[in-house]
Amino acid sequence: MRSVSTKQWAPKVFLLATVAARAQAQFAGLSSTDDGKELYFASPLRQRGTDQFLWSKIFRLDSGGVALVAEVARSSPAPPTNAYVLDAPQVSGDGRLLLYTGTLNCGCCSSCFLSEQHSTTLLDTTTGQSAVAGPNARMSRNGRYLASYSSRNVTRPVFDLLDRASSATLFHDSIAPATVSIASDGTTALTVNQSLQLISRGSRTTLIGSNVIAVAIDDGAAKVVYETQAPRRLFVRDLKSAQIQPLGPEDRDSFQATLSADGQWVAWLSALDATPQVFFGRLDGSSEKQLTAVSAGILEATLSGDAKTVFAVAADGEMLRIDTATGGTTTLIGPTPTIGSVQTASPGSLTSVKVSGVDASSVSLSISGLTAPILQRSANQIVFQVPWEVPLTANAVTNPQGGEPYFEDSAPLLLQEFVPEAIVLAPQEPVTFTQPIAIHSDWGSLVTDEQPAAPGETVHIYLTGGGPVNPPVATGSAAPRTPLSPITTPVTVSASDQQPLSVPFFGLAPGLIGVWQMDVTLPPVWSRQFLVIQFGFYSRPPNSYAEALSLPGIPMKSNP
């Protein structure tokens, strides 16, 4: 083999360079029965010991624990064509009926952006029978009245208010409301283009013309609680007298109000020193008290119909049950850090994941039951190695400590045999926005706009996702300097003009864990400002595909 330079260049610079996808909320859409004995919610987490999908599903929590209520498989190929992401559950007061909404996540440039992306299911929890209730739907607490309506992206929206007892349509219009709340007699409060409106006895009237983003109506259709956008405040309006009074203090944000069945009690969130906490009191403003003092803050809360219980989710992923009379708090689900999706990687590769909700120093990771070596931590990010032994069929990275006692705190993971990605070694150039990925042949400096590579120079590039090597290296171990471990995947390397490039070495970077080094000799003649390196390869089953990939452009000295 040709002699290979194995000097390292500032390895600590890039150990945190890999950026994971944005994280998603762990628990959302809380909805309780009147007696507070059942709580429905949405979560992308899977229950422990199951292979449930890693996108949002509907669960029920009661005295017997957590049970999966609904999940939907994603259609293939991408982009999917079905509404598989489930959220926004709403249970009737007696627990017999359940609504939940499925969302179609459009892929890039997909035409589904122009059409309806939601489909709501009405489930009879006693018989298991279900039916489509419309694109979006909300129902009265007694389950008799149901509003079915289009999403706001639809050019020709439809809104229908139905009496399920008589199968009659009580109201029809071409509107797409943002929020809908229905009283037990069918009176409906809604927000349309930030106006507060009321549907009663077959007609729709506007109560407030602007700045309203959410509304809730009591079962007796006597009062509504609405939320304004700027400032973010809560107000109570008497529907008979039209009198309005504020709910909560006027010097801080208040939001997310939920009403008891009799309309006498209300729970809401109010920001104390920018940290939202749960407050509870009578709708007339009396008996107000703070129910939580959680350091992480509260993301969402809901009040049971009998006003005896508040369920809440904290920013650290903890789910709480609060007795409104005593203030006593019970942890239903332990703190559950939010871990973001990991970028596509190969077994053995260095990668990273974003973590929020807890200090990343307390988090461990596993894939297919194998512990993933953690190389570096920051307050909200973990850099780790995908174990070499992990099969390509593995689809999740898991924090074993999260979601106790019911859930695995997992995030989606896609593995490929060979999926090289250059590690960016410094901030992008301010003028050309070039991402520095190459090191000069003498290892003395980066290839940059100010110090471009010379034609014929052999530069060094660090990558992740380089795939299998021979001889192999143990998980968690740095690659040795002797013997070297070159890749085994057949690959072609060329310039953007299809000119083949010489690659003296492509294998594990000596002295590093989960990082590949490619030494590539640039063309002796080059007349352009940048050179883009391209890979052509075929990845073997089970995740097989043939593909060409390109690295960010390398600044070049041009010659005639």
pLDDT digits (tens, 9 = 90+) for 113-146: 778 999 999 999 999 999 999 999 999 999 999 9
Position 249 scores a pLDDT of: 86
Backbone angle region of 357, left / alpha / beta, with phi > 0 → left and psi within -120 to 50 → alpha: left
Position 307 scores a pLDDT of: 98
Within 8 A by CB and 6+ apart from 498, the residues are none
pLDDT mean over 89-96: 98
Question: What is the C-alpha separation between 262 and 544, in angstroms, rounded?
Answer: 59
Closest CA to 461 of 429, 492, 485, 425: 425
pLDDT above 80 (res 400): no
Which of 65-74, 222-231, 414-423 shows the lowest mean pLDDT across its residues? Answer: 414-423
Position 71 scores a pLDDT of: 98
pLDDT above 80 (res 44): yes
| Dihedral, 44, 47, 48, 53 alpha carbons, nearest 10 | -50
Question: What is the C-alpha separation between 276 and 295, in angstroms, rounded?
Answer: 9
Question: In the predicted model, what is the mean pLDDT of the chain?
Answer: 90
Question: What is the C-alpha separation between 241 and 208, in angstroms, rounded?
Answer: 14
Position 5 scores a pLDDT of: 54
pLDDT mean over 366-388: 90
Which of 218-232, 287-301, 486-500 shows the lowest mean pLDDT across its residues? Answer: 486-500
Position 89 scores a pLDDT of: 99
Percent of the chain with pLDDT strictly greater than 90? 71
Strands 407-412, 396-399: pairing kind = antiparallel
For residues 305 and 142, the answer to whether their CB atoms sit within 8 Å is no
pLDDT mean over 100-110: 81
Q: Which residue has the higher pLDDT, 297 or 380?
A: 297
Position 335 scores a pLDDT of: 87
For residues 32 and 365, the answer to whether their CB atoms sit within 8 Å is no
Closest CA to 404 of 480, 316, 325, 515: 316
pLDDT above 90 (res 49): no
Position 12 scores a pLDDT of: 43
Indicate the pLDDT class of residue 395, thresholds 50, 70 and 90. Answer: confident
Give the residues across from 317 on adjacent strands: none
Phi/psi of residue 13, nearest 5 degrees: -65, -35
- Got the DSSP string for 304-342? -TTSSEEEEEETTS-EEEEETTT--EEEEE----EEPPP
Indicate the pLDDT class of residue 14, thresholds 50, 70 and 90. Answer: very low
Neighbours of 51 (CB within 10 A): 9
Q: Which residue has the higher pLDDT, 446 or 550?
A: 446
pLDDT mean over 40-52: 93
Question: What is the C-alpha separation between 498 and 518, in angstroms, rounded?
Answer: 18
Three-class secondary structure of residue 12 per DSSP: helix
Three-class secondary structure of residue 483 per DSSP: coil
For residues 509 and 462, the answer to whether their CB atoms sit within 8 Å is yes
Position 94 scores a pLDDT of: 98
Indicate the pLDDT class of residue 547, thresholds 50, 70 and 90. Answer: low
Position 20 scores a pLDDT of: 35
Position 357 scores a pLDDT of: 64
Position 109 scores a pLDDT of: 62
Three-class secondary structure of residue 360 per DSSP: helix
Question: What is the C-alpha separation between 361 and 355, in angstroms, rounded?
Answer: 10
Total length of the chain: 560
Position 97 scores a pLDDT of: 99
pLDDT above 70 (res 11): no
Question: What is the C-alpha separation between 503 and 17, in angstroms, rounded?
Answer: 24
Phi/psi of residue 514, nearest 5 degrees: 70, 20
Percent of the chain with pLDDT strictly greater than 70? 90
Backbone angle region of 128, left / alpha / beta, with phi > 0 → left and psi within -120 to 50 → alpha: left
* Vertex 14 angle, CA 13 and 17, to 5°: 130
pLDDT above 60 (res 189): yes
- Whether the upstream peptide bond of residue 80 has omega within 30° of 0, thus cis, is no
Neighbours of 346 (CB within 10 A): 27
Question: What is the C-alpha separation between 390 and 88, in angstroms, rounded?
Answer: 35
Indicate the pLDDT class of residue 235, thresholds 50, 70 and 90. Answer: very high
Q: In the numeric block, which tokens belong to residue 232?
A: 């973010």
pLDDT mean over 335-342: 79
